[in-house]
């Protein structure tokens, strides 16, 4: 009886869920901070917080327009979802190369890496040099950079794609990425792949085809 009494008086070990809770939330807080930092940098670049038209739309579907990339979502939001698929795959491959003996990164820390890459791209994409490159070699003659709210929404779209890649089977993620690219090619004659091609190695035939939209 005495031994049992001492066992009951022994202090309980800390609840692992409680002790690990803040640690689990840390990467998501860091990812949010990265998005906020990128938004502040873009604002410092002189990017408008919202569309200069003075309104905020949930969706703007006219690509050849001065309001494109100025509102919360547009056709290019699908490309940013595809960014999430690609970043998840690349980070998974990098972890595979490191070897099984290494402790794998949790979803949260992988999201931090992906968010950092996307944030850097948003900042680079809205630099004067890249904006002029877009205007010179693509059909985006009315493109003068993204609004801050659009860039933040684009980073959110990437996070959505990253989460979908984490939750969905590989084949379904790949199918969604392909469907997105085909849909964008049909509807707006653009997309992630075409965008990269035209930025890196412009093809006059593609530009003529896009301009005929």
Kindly state whether residue 71 falls inside one of the protein's structural domains: yes
Kindly state whether residue 213 falls inside one of the protein's structural domains: yes
Q: Into how many domains does the chain fold?
A: 1
Kindly state whether residue 147 falls inside one of the protein's structural domains: yes
Please provide the DSSP assignment of 101-140 as one string.
TSPPPPHHHHHHHHHHHHHHHHHHHTSHHHHHHHHHHSS-
Mind listing the pLDDT tens digit for each residue in 56-73? 999 999 988 889 999 999
Distance CA 180, CA 86 (A): 13
Mind listing the pLDDT tens digit for each residue in 89-136? 999 999 988 775 567 889 999 999 999 999 999 999 999 999 999 888
Looking at residue 192, the DSSP 8-state letter turns out to be H
Tokens of residue 145, six digits: 């950079």
**Averaged pLDDT of the chain:** 89
Looking at residue 168, the DSSP 8-state letter turns out to be S
Structural domain including 148 reads: 65-213
Kindly state whether residue 1 falls inside one of the protein's structural domains: no
Distance CA 116, CA 37 (A): 10
Higher-confidence position of 196 and 211: 196
Distance CA 41, CA 13 (A): 45
pTM for the model? 0.88
Kindly state whether residue 208 falls inside one of the protein's structural domains: yes
Kindly state whether residue 60 falls inside one of the protein's structural domains: no
Kindly state whether residue 149 falls inside one of the protein's structural domains: yes
| Residues 126 and 146: beta-carbon distance below 8 Å | yes
Kindly state whether residue 36 falls inside one of the protein's structural domains: no
């Amino acid at each position: 009886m005495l031994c049992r009494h001492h066992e009951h008086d022994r202090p309980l070990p800390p609840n692992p869920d409680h002790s690990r809770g803040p640690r689990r939330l840390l990467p998501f807080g860091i990812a949010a901070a990265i998005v906020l930092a990128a938004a502040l940098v873009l604002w410092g670049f002189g990017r408008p917080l919202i569309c200069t038209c003075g309104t905020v739309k949930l969706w703007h579907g006219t690509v050849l327009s001065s309001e494109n990339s100025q509102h919360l979502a547009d056709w290019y939001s699908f490309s940013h979802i595809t960014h999430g698929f690609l970043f998840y795959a690349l980070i998974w491959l990098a972890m595979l190369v490191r070897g099984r003996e290494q402790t794998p990164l949790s979803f949260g820390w992988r999201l931090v890496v992906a968010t950092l890459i996307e944030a850097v791209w948003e900042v680079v994409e809205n630099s004067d040099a890249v904006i002029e490159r877009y205007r010179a070699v693509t059909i985006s003659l009315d493109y003068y950079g993204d609004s801050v709210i659009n860039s933040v929404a684009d980073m959110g779209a990437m996070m959505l794609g990253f989460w979908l890649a984490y939750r969905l089977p590989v084949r379904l993620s790949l199918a969604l990425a392909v469907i997105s690219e085909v849909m964008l090619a049909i509807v707006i004659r653009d997309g992630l792949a075409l965008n990269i091609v035209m930025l890196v190695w412009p093809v006059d035939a593609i530009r003529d085809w896009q301009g005929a939209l």
